[in-house]
Structure 1
């Protein structure tokens, strides 16, 4: 099986379409969306409908923190970043139908596809939305994940970075930064934690969309970077005429 792992789409229609097309062209036969379907971007209803269609077709979708915010928007605060996120969540909530909000509200926080555990944040208390962004947290995530029978691999989103952690000969985890498009062997005799990056809002200075493709027949993992119509996605944000902050558009263009 070739499993396409897509996370943090953030209402970015153009990036999602590009990644799905790329994955299908490279032989993906199962799709998993790892949360944060919405938030920040201008096309939440489109993205949620695509997720609903994937579930109807037998594929896998789990929830993230921005999906929860869209169901029940957080109150704004006096702190700029938090108040902008709250503003975006409220706007997103208003764009979604009652059916789409119900879909988001009932998404599971984890799913298992074969021996692979999928979670938006850490498998250790997924509801706490903890970032898997260092070896210590990755080890705690892996410990929780491997309590599920047969699990040797756990894949997460949330951090908007593409990173792989693995257990070597010692007790701790080793961190590996992959090269896009280069297959990495991930044999199940070791244990692995991967963060698959963000489809709709990369934050590493490269505006191209991110996702990962896992081949479970040969146990190879390929982290992908996909060009898409960034200017169109940014223009759609600006077209909300201030309902979404202009900084959300700028973030797409610079990849930060």
Structure 2
């Protein structure tokens, strides 16, 4: 199985299309979407329909915090600009699309793989995994050998060795990384729709369960077109600038 891993699509049609096309070129035969299909971007209906279509063909999908917010009143803990986009997003979605987001599970497991938007430790808390301490907490919460998550918008790879020691690696785009069967791994592909590591190219990853290798990719796309659509929709300009600047 060659599993394409896409997360934090954030209603960005251009980036999502580019990553799906790239994954097809890489001969992906399974897809997993680890949340936040809406929020920030101008094409929530198209992205939700696209993910739903892949799910209908066997893809895995889990719920992100923006997906949950789009199905009910956003919490005050979400910053004002994000709440503004969520309110706008609700007006763009059909009842069926809202129902799809609302019914997504927080966690999915397949074989020895676990899929979650934030931390596996307490998925509903939406904890950001920004270092080895949070990564260890996430991995210790499951017996799955590989955990795939998102939420932090930048690529990352963490390892928990058989003796409990933690390590982290900076993934190099396009360079396969071998995963030791005796260790646990946390794979964060980075955001498809709103990268925040000073690189505006879209992110996704590919996992091969035969070779036990994971590859991280950066995919150029027409971020200018996506940014202009953010502005044309009347959404906060900060979200257009993030697409341009990758921050």
Deviates more, 1:107-116 or 1:96-105: 107-116
Residue 123 of structure 1 is matched in structure 2 by: 120
* Count of residues paired in the alignment: 247
Structure 2 distance, partners of 1:75, 1:119, is 20
Q: 2:151, 2:75 → 1: CA distance?
A: 21
Provide the C-alpha distance between the structure 1 equivalents of 2:75 and 2:147, rounded to a whole number of angstroms.
Answer: 33
Helix, strand or coil at the partner of 1:71? coil
Question: Does the CA contact (< 8 Å) of 1:73 and 1:93 recur in 2?
Answer: no
Q: TM-score, normalised by structure 2?
A: 0.97
Structure 1 runs not aligned, ≥5 long: none
Q: 1:171 to 1:114 in 2, by over 3 A?
A: closer
1:89-100 alignment, distance < 5 Å: 89-100=86-97
In angstroms, what is the RMSD of aligned CA positions?
1.3
Query: Which aligned pairs between 1:217-236 and structure 2 lie closer than 5 A?
Result: 217-236=210-229
C-alpha separation in 2, matches of 1:58 and 1:168: 32
Aligned to 1:174: 167
Q: How do residues 1-256 of structure 1 correspond to structure 2 at under 5 angstroms?
A: 1-74=1-74, 82-146=79-143, 151-168=144-161, 170-240=163-233, 242=234, 244-256=235-247
* Residues 1:89 and 1:73: Cα distance change in structure 2 (over 3 Å): farther
Q: TM-score, normalised by structure 1?
A: 0.94
Structure 1 residue 170: Cα displacement = 4.6
Which sections of structure 2, spanning at least 5 residues, go unmatched? none
